[in-house]
Structure formats: C-alpha cells, structure tokens
Amino acid sequence: MIHQDKEVKSTKNKAKPSCCCSHDEPVHTENDGHDHGGHDHEHNVDGGLFKLFLPSIISFVLLIVGIAFDNYFKQEWFAGYVRIVWYAIAYLPVGIPVLREAYESILKGDVFSEFFLMCIATIGAFAIGEYPEGVAVMLFYTIGETFQGMAVKRAKTSIKKLLDQRPDEVHILENNVAVKVKAKDVQIGAIIQLKAGEKLGLDGELLSDSAFVNTVALTGESKPATKKKGDTVLAGMINGNTIIEVKVTTAYSDSKLSKILELVQNATAKKAPAELFIRKFAKIYTPIVVYLAIAICLVPMLFVSNYVFTDWLYRALVFLVISCPCALVISIPLGYFGGIGAASRNGILFKGSNFLDSISTIQNVVVDKTGTMTEGVFKVQDVIIKPEFDKDEILKLVNVLENKSSHPVATAIHNHVGTVDSSVELKDIEEISGHGLKATYKEKDLHVGNFKLLDKFNISYDIDPSTIVYTTIAIAYGGKFAGYLTIADEIKEDAKETVSKLKALGVKLTMLSGDKSNVVQFVADKVGIKNAFGDLLPEDKVNKVNEIKAKNETIAFVGDGVNDAPVIALSTVGIAMGGLGSDATIETADIVIQDDKPSKIAMAINIGKQTKKIVWQNITLAFVVKAFVLILGAGGLATMWEAVFADVGVALLAILNAVRIQRMKF
C-alpha cells in the first residue's frame, strides 16, 4: 500500500565506466591474480617481509659491493666482462619480473606501459656503461612497487577483516545434538545452535523466544538489539547471554554480510572522474614522453657542435625514468579505495569511487520523512469510527486489506487490531498510487488510505484533515465515510543534529513526503528543515526535484530503498536507509547507510570531500615534482638519482598521503 510517505528506491542505470589506462587496476578483487608491479606483492605480504623483499635485498647487496669495488676498494679483477656480469646479476632479481610484464603488455597491444619505460631506461643505462645506475633505477622502482603492493593489500585486508566477521564453522542440531560443520556447507532449513558470545555464520530466522544481539559487524554500532521469535537475524551478529536457535534461510554465499563484503571489494570497478582522467591521460602521455626522449637524444645532433651521443642518450634515459606515471596511476585509486574503506568502517557503503566524487560536490539533500528523519515505527493513536458502523467489523476489514501491504502503517494497524481474519474474502483489490487501497466486500466498496483517496471517489467527509497533526488513515465503506485512524511516528534522535551538520557543510535541505502537509511541517519544524512539502503524489515529487535540477544544482536523494523510482532516477546520488533490513537496498542504492542514522549523510559527504582533497593533493604533488625534474633532466642537470626520486619517491609520498584517510576520524 502507498500511504502518505513511504519512499522508493529503484535501480539507477548507471553505466559502468571502462578503464582507459595502459595499466591494470592496482586494487583488485581477491582472485584476479595480477598486481601492479608484476611481483605478486599484494598476494604475498603474509609470507613475511623478508621473502617479499628478498629479490631487492639480493640486488641491493650486489649493487653496494659493486659500487665499493668501483670506488673504495678497487680490485684489478673487477673490470671488463666480470664487472658487466656482476651488475647484470644484480639487475636480474629485480629486472626479470618487470621485463616479463613489459613483454606481456606488448603482446596485449599495450606497448607504452610503465614497465616498458623502466626496461628501456635501465637497459639503455647498461648500453652506455652506466651499470650501477641501471641497477639502482630498477632496484628502487621494485622497492617502490613492493611498498605500493603492501599498501593496497593492507587496505583490502583491513576492510575484509572489518566486514567478514562470519565464523568458518557453526554448530547445527542433528537429532537434538549440536554438531560442528563448515558454515559454507550448511543447507537452508538447518537449525543452528548459537552460544552466548558466538557469531552467527548464516542469515536465518530466530526460533527462540527472544535474543539480544550485537550488530557491530553490520552497522558499525555495538549497541545491542532485541530480537523476537520469527525475526530475521543476520550473519555476523553476536549472540548475547543465552543459547539461541536459528533456522537458516539463506545460503552462506548469499548472506547479507557476503553481499556487503562483495560490494566493498568490488567498489573500485566504478571509477571516479579523476581516475578516468589520469588513465586516459597516461595512455596519451606515455607515448609522447617516449618520442620526446628520442628527440632529446637525436635532435641536438643537428644543433650542438660538440654533440656526444652517450651524453644525450643519458639525458633521454633520465627523462624516461622521471616521466613514469606510476605515482598517479597507483596513488589515486588507492586514495579512493581508502575513502571507501573509511566509510565502510563507519557503516556507510559506497558502490564506487565515482560516488565518493559525486557526493563531495552535493548542493542539495532531498529527504523522505518516514524511515529517514523518523523511525518508521508507527503506532495507532486514535480509532474514530462513526456510530452507524460496526467498529469491530470495520477494523477487521481494514486489517485484512492492509495485510496485502508491507508498509509500516499497515504493520501498525496489524499490531493494533491483531490476527487477520482468514474467513474474510475481499475482491477486486487495487492499489492506487499515492492514495491507498480499494477492494470490494459483500458487493460494497472498501476504501482505506489518505483523504485524497476519498476525494478521488467523491466520498464526502465531515472533518477537516488539516486539523489532525498525526498521520491519518481514512476509511470509507459502501461509499460512505466510516471514520479514520491516527498513527504517530517518532523523530530519530540524531535528525536535528543531521540538519545542523548539513547546513554547516553548506548543503540545502528539502523534505518531500506523501504524508499530510501539517504532519510533514511538524516534523520539519522539529528538526530545522525550512523547505518541506507534504501531500505529494510520486509525480509531484518528480516536479519538486526537477525544480531543483533546473537551477543546475546537484541532488542527493535519501530514502529507505523501497519505492520512489522516478525521484531516484533524477538524483545525482541515491542514498538508501535501511541497508540492514532490505536486500533490494544493497542491490540498487549508490550509497547505503547501514544503521539508518541520518547523521551518516553528513559523514558520507565529509568522507567524499576529504578523499577528493587527498587525491588532488597527490595529483598536484606528482605533476609539480615531475615537471620540475623533467626540465632539469632535459637540460642535463638531473641524474638517474633525481629521476628515481621523481618517480619512486613521489609515488611513496603519494601513497603515504592516500592511506592517511583510513586513520581519519569523521
């Protein structure tokens, strides 16, 4: 039933952006088998730091010994082919993986990759006799890649540990005996016995009379929740102080926590504009730099009288090392992934880094009332039925009709009236969008909804609905006004704080609702929203949003993920409340607030702003340093050592800046 205020969220058909870069995405799902530097760093961090850095350690020791033989402890035998072979052996542990990556990239048609740049720069250094520098460039590049892989791995692992709270094993009852089995092998319908302090492994239905559960794994909030017999309990919830029994209703791989985990792990698939720009830029930028390096090497031959090929080749090689776009291509996605991780820790799920970007520039937040600024838990306050009607019969009919709806108002009526009378058979049941429900009983029409429903069917009534502050459900039977029910909903405790925070961020708020205008205005006044509109049909809400869009301003719509498709389609970003209770929400929302707290709206905007700030700091740092050292390199004033800093050093600084967001408090 569509009463006054229940908002909808529907699928927004957002096109998935394609990756335009010549590099593989550095932040992957668990099984893609590739990492940025070609060394499998992401996947081997757990094998120990020594094993991880072993190739670099071997190269470093051989390089240092070689430099010592060259400059401090000169040896007659350390010359000619012996010296070349020594540095070649030092080069191979760090060079082979990069050479392999360059070769594989070329086979895929991606010639101008950063691996290719490193290979021609270091091999070129060997060609002109600069063996130590050739080894040093590849060594420091590899160390940089290792640290990058570790940073990505750490970011992914921290998020996975945060979210994947499911136990690997559970106890199921077989012939009233608890048997330990693998959670992934448990069948739907099995009965799990959960002791005090244990985590639930699968979603299910509570069979015990009641239970206290901690939902921190799902919402970020450790406040215990009370569950009653028949309620849904979810994987990751921690049982309180008694043994409970749960009937499994969802397979292990389909649990709510599995979907949340998959959502966060795959969030980088939808890339932010800054990422897409850098990737497109790198695809064009890298070949240009290669051709410029060739020009730096050969063009001076036409103009410089004392031209020395090896000198200008060295300058060109330095230029190539500096030009590697590694710092940008790695640190920017890592910055967005850090933002997604920070949001996840606070119970906010972003479906992609593009939404982090979008929400950072939001100018208007449009909220629904029920379930967003109010609890969405209705209770019947008054029952007013005219004397000429049988009160019990009318309530019985209303209860049967409302049984066709999952609206919170319907739930309130069920809770007030009691068990649905299965002997009552209603015919021609019809839902009238934005108005209510209509049916036929004993050849008489039954109307239950708002007063607009009665107006639509020309049914007169002798009260003024605007004088009633509560949500009102009008009832008509046999073409006559039979009376009404009043239903109240509580304002969320952090609703007023939410409005203050959003105003402090410079965001304008609007409340749109199908509920009565005076009810909507009452709630709006309580929380501090000036622009509030009630008595709206779905098409009216579309018109209100279009009015905001006509000002060329961005809009975030916040609803409970159940039924406002037109408004969601128009919004820049769709934010859904109630991710903990609705599978449809996780599937369709751009951003999901798991614990239903409206204050998380402001937090999400703040996380978006901080993430974008860090990303642009990294872009600026990389461009400024690289441009400066490129000029020095082209002029022969920079050596390979400055080139290494411009590439690997800047990349490491950018990465350290990117991971900083994961430690911020919002």
pLDDT tens digits, one per residue of 598-628: 999 999 999 999 999 998 998 888 888 888 8
Residue 125 or 356, more confident: 356
Percent above pLDDT 90 for the chain? 28
**Whole-number pLDDT of residue 383:** 94
Tell me the DSSP string of 120-184. HHHHHHHHTT-HHHHHHHHHHHHHHHHHHHHHHHHHHHHHHHHH----SEEEEEETTEEEEEEGG
DSSP state of 16: P
Residue 94 has pLDDT above 90, yes or no: yes
CB 457 within 8 A of CB 465: no
Confidence class for position 384, pLDDT limits 50, 70, 90: very high
- For 190-199, what is the mean pLDDT? 89
Structure tokens at 511: 């409340």
Strand partners, 444: 441
Residue 66 has pLDDT above 50, yes or no: yes
Please state the φ and ψ torsions of residue 10, each to the nearest 5 degrees.
-130, 170
Helix (H, G, I), strand (E, B) or coil at 203: coil
Residue spans of beta strands (DSSP E) within 168-313: 169-174, 177-182, 191-194, 204-206, 210-214, 224-228, 232-233, 238-239, 244-248
Active site residue 368: yes
Please give the C-alpha separations between residue 71 and each of 22, 60, 91, 155, 407, in angstroms, as whole numbers. Answer: 40, 16, 19, 43, 82
Q: Encode burial over 294-327: b for 16+ CB neighbours within 10 A, e otherwise.
A: eebbeeeeeeeeeeeeeebbbbbbbbbbbbbbbb
Q: Is 458 exposed, middle or buried, given 0-12, 13-18 or 19+ CB atoms closer than 10 A?
A: exposed
Q: Which long-range contacts (CB under 8 A, 24 or more apart) does 224-229 make?
A: none
- For 582-602, what is the mean pLDDT? 77
**Whole-number pLDDT of residue 587:** 64
**Whole-number pLDDT of residue 29:** 35
pLDDT tens digits, one per residue of 97-110: 999 988 998 898 87
| HSE value, Cβ hemisphere, 13 Å, CA-based, for 293 | 25
State the alpha helices, DSSP H only, in 205-272. 216-219, 256-265
- For 271-282, what is the mean pLDDT? 69
**Whole-number pLDDT of residue 376:** 73
Nearest to 218, CA basis, from 299, 134, 162, 269 = 162
CB 174 within 8 A of CB 191: no
- Whole-number Å distance between alpha carbons of 511 and 102: 55
Residue spans of beta strands (DSSP E) within 375-507: 379-385, 427-432, 436-441, 444-449, 471-477, 480-488
pLDDT tens digits, one per residue of 325-354: 766 777 777 788 888 888 888 888 888 888
- For 12-21, what is the mean pLDDT? 35
Structure tokens at 396: 């019985």
Residue 265 has pLDDT above 90, yes or no: no
Confidence class for position 220, pLDDT limits 50, 70, 90: low
Residue 416 has pLDDT above 80, yes or no: yes
- Whole-number Å distance between alpha carbons of 7 and 588: 14
Strand partners, 555: 364
- For 275-292, what is the mean pLDDT? 76
- Whole-number Å distance between alpha carbons of 143 and 127: 23
- Whole-number Å distance between alpha carbons of 74 and 77: 9
- The CA dihedral of 166, 171, 172, 177, to the nearest 10 degrees, is -170
Confidence class for position 579, pLDDT limits 50, 70, 90: low
Structure tokens at 158: 């921290």
Please state the φ and ψ torsions of residue 195, each to the nearest 5 degrees.
-80, 165
CB 367 within 8 A of CB 510: yes
**Whole-number pLDDT of residue 267:** 61
Pairing of strands 555-559, 591-593: unpaired
- Whole-number Å distance between alpha carbons of 241 and 231: 18
Nearest to 373, CA basis, from 226, 534, 216 = 534
Q: Is 620 exposed, middle or buried, given 0-12, 13-18 or 19+ CB atoms closer than 10 A?
A: exposed
**Whole-number pLDDT of residue 152:** 67
Residues sharing a CB contact under 8 Å with residue 264, sequence separation 6 or more, in sequence order: 159, 163, 340, 341, 344, 349
pLDDT tens digits, one per residue of 17-51: 333 333 333 333 333 333 444 444 444 444 567 88
Residue with tokens 């449809």: 584
Averaged pLDDT of the chain: 81
**Whole-number pLDDT of residue 481:** 96
CB 382 within 8 A of CB 415: no
CB 120 within 8 A of CB 168: no
Structure tokens at 473: 């459900």
- Whole-number Å distance between alpha carbons of 530 and 112: 56
Confidence class for position 438, pLDDT limits 50, 70, 90: very high
Q: Which of 35, 110, 357, 368 is catalytic?
A: 368
Residue 541 has pLDDT above 60, yes or no: yes
pTM: 0.67
Name the amino acid, one letter, at 195.
K
CB 429 within 8 A of CB 401: yes
- For 487-509, what is the mean pLDDT? 92
Name the amino acid, one letter, at 512.
L
Please state the φ and ψ torsions of residue 59, each to the nearest 5 degrees.
-65, -40
**Whole-number pLDDT of residue 266:** 66
